[in-house]
Amino acid sequence: MHLVLDDTAMAAAGHGNVLASRLIHRAHAQAGWYLYAPACALVEADRARPGTAEHLVALPGITVLDLDLPAALGVARQDTWAVAHCQYAAQPTPDRPDGAIIATTAPDWWIGEPVRVLDLTA
């Protein structure tokens, strides 16, 4: 299971969202669960809730995704860096042929986008 935390999910984890906390625990404790934090979304989460970035990157089981050249080119075509980097990170790769699911507390942001979404508000 490959999951990408968007900035809203990262901020929610800092506020004690139970579903976000469960994902973080699973990524740390259960084989086959991978949780990704795109750098651009991490910046936005930290702007919304200072200290979020330091907290999340210190947690085992979370992999921070750098803004490499292919990601930067993807981000350049979108309106917001956080959403664009998450969308790019969720696309299929050789390591993740089915792509990843975006975990979010703002599922409406993703309507019409070519991604699968896990609503953390349910």
Cβ-count burial 49-71 (b if 16+ within 10 Å, e if not): beebbeebeeeeebeebebeeeb
First and final C-alpha spacing in the chain: 19
Looking at residue 50, what is its pLDDT? Answer: 93
Q: How confident is the model at residue 16 (pLDDT cuts 50, 70, 90)?
A: confident
Would you state the structure tokens that stand for residue 120, as one six-digit string?
A: 């953390």
Q: From CA 102, how far away is CA 22, in angstroms rounded?
A: 15
Quick: pLDDT tens for 32-63.
Answer: 999 999 999 999 999 999 999 999 999 988 99
Q: Which contiguous run of DSSP H or E holds residue 71? A: helix 69-76
Q: From CA 4, how far away is CA 98, in angstroms rounded?
A: 13
pTM of the model: 0.91
* Backbone φ and ψ of 77, nearest 5°: -90, 0
Q: From CA 35, how far away is CA 63, in angstroms rounded?
A: 6
Inter-residue contact 4 to 102 (CB < 8 Å): yes
* Backbone φ and ψ of 14, nearest 5°: -70, -25
Percent of the chain with pLDDT over 70: 100
